[in-house]
Amino acid sequence: INSIINNNEIFTIEHWNIILVGRKGVGKTTLIKYILDNDINIETYFNQDYIIYTSPKVKYLRLIEFKGIGYDNGSTPDNIKEKIKNYIEGCLKSNDENFHNVIHCIWYCISGERFEGPEKSLFYSLKKIYEDNTIPIIFVYTQSNDEDSCKDFESKMRENDHIENSL
């Protein structure tokens, strides 16, 4: 705490590490291109499970996109959950004294009008793992220009006590 208060360099965040997850075709890559101003560097590509994006224009972000639900036979909610969990655990074990690999949050990308079985399953699995809020899971609405339908969807989600604290 004293290091943080005294602005010690060890706690200086070089970039925010954000995981993006959601079903295939929900718009994760489009969102990444928009956020990074279409100036993308693919930093790492491992086993085709995830891609790490950076940009010289937006130096403070590192976006990690996991393969979408339904992308192929191996892209089930359980498999994706395990890959995300293993990735995060690997980051924590990396002996990174400056915390450059720490995952700051998960953006759970959903269509403004669609949140079906496999998507709910993955969300609940991730929420259960990080129920202590060590890594916040944030809904990001994609493919929707209709603010009212997004608000209706959010209201429906808040009716469910299991999700209320996540929104």
pLDDT digits (tens, 9 = 90+) for 94-147: 665 556 778 889 999 988 666 778 888 898 899 898 888 789 998 888 876 666
Q: Which residue has the higher pLDDT, 29 or 3?
A: 29
How big is the CA angle at 97 (ends 96 and 98), to the nearest 5 degrees?
90
Whether the pLDDT of residue 10 is over 60: the answer is no
% of the chain at pLDDT higher than 70: 69
Q: SS3 for 7? A: coil
164 membership: H or E segment, kind and range: helix 161-164
**Token pair recorded at residue 124:** 């609940």
| Chain length of the chain | 167
Within 10 angstroms of residue 144's Cβ, the number of other Cβ atoms is 16
Residue 73, pLDDT > 90, answer no
To the nearest whole number, what is the mean pLDDT of the chain? 78
pTM, whole model, 2 decimals? 0.77
Model pLDDT, residue 162: 46
Contact between residue 73 and residue 120 where contact means Cβ atoms under 8 Å apart: no
Nearest to 111 by CA among 80, 79, 70: 70
Does residue 1 carry a pLDDT above 50? no
